[in-house]
Amino acid sequence: DAGVTQSPTHLIKTRGQHVTLRCSPISGHKSVSWYQQVLGQGPQFIFQYYEKEERGRGNFPDRFSARQFPNYSSELNVNALLLGDSALYLCASSMTGGPNTGELFFGEGSRLTVL
Amino acid sequence: SQQGEEDPQALSIQEGENATMNCSYKTSINNLQWYRQNSGRGLVHLILIRSNEREKHSGRLRVTLDTSKKSSSLLITASRAADTASYFCATINAGNNRKLIWGLGTSLAVNP
A54-66 confidence digits (pLDDT tens): 988 889 999 999 9
Nearest CA in chain A to B96: A99
Per the DSSP assignment, residues forming a β-bridge with B109 are: B12
Asked if the Cβ–Cβ distance from B92 to A44 is below 8 Å, we say no
Asked if the Cβ–Cβ distance from A102 to B40 is below 8 Å, we say no
Domain parsing of chain B, residue ranges = 5-111
Contacts of B42 in chain A (CB under 8 A): 4, 90, 106-109
When the pLDDT of each residue in chain B is averaged and rounded to a whole number, the result is 89
Q: Does A97 touch chain B (CB under 8 A)?
A: yes
What superfamily in CATH does domain B5-111 come from? Answer: Immunoglobulins (2.60.40.10)
Tally of CA atoms within 13 A in the half-sphere of A31 that contains its CB: 19
β-strands B106-111, B85-93: how paired? antiparallel
Number of domains in chain A: 1
- Selection from A97, A51, A63, A3 nearest residue B100 by Cα: A97
The fraction of chain B above a pLDDT of 70, given in percent, is: 92
Asked if the Cβ–Cβ distance from B2 to A4 is below 8 Å, we say no
Angstrom distance (rounded) from CA B112 to CA B96: 42
Q: What angle do CA A5, A11, A12 make, to 5 degrees?
A: 165
CA distance B67 to chain A (A): 17
**How large is the average pLDDT for residues B92-99?**
66
CA distance B17 to chain A (A): 25
User: What pLDDT sits at residue B97?
Assistant: 54
Per the DSSP assignment, residues forming a β-bridge with A24 are: A5
Confidence of residue B2 (pLDDT cuts 50, 70, 90): very low
Confidence of residue A41 (pLDDT cuts 50, 70, 90): confident
Contacts of A95 in chain B (CB under 8 A): none
Domain that holds residue A85: 5-114
How many C-beta neighbours within 10 Å does residue B64 have?
16
Angstrom distance (rounded) from CA A46 to CA A51: 17
Asked if the Cβ–Cβ distance from A42 to B45 is below 8 Å, we say no
Confidence of residue B72 (pLDDT cuts 50, 70, 90): very high
Tally of CA atoms within 13 A in the half-sphere of B21 that contains its CB: 29
The region, left, alpha or beta by phi > 0 then psi within -120 to 50, assigned to residue B16 is: left
CATH number, position A53: 2.60.40.10
Confidence of residue B68 (pLDDT cuts 50, 70, 90): very high
Q: Between A and B, how many residue pairs show a Cβ–Cβ distance under 8 A? A: 70
Q: What does B5-63 look like in DSSP terms, one character per residue?
A: EEE-SEEEEETTS-EEEEEE-SS-EEEEEEEEE-TTS-EEEEEEEETT--EEEETTEEE
Angstrom distance (rounded) from CA B33 to CA A33: 16
Statement: residue A14 has pLDDT above 90: yes
Confidence of residue A8 (pLDDT cuts 50, 70, 90): very high
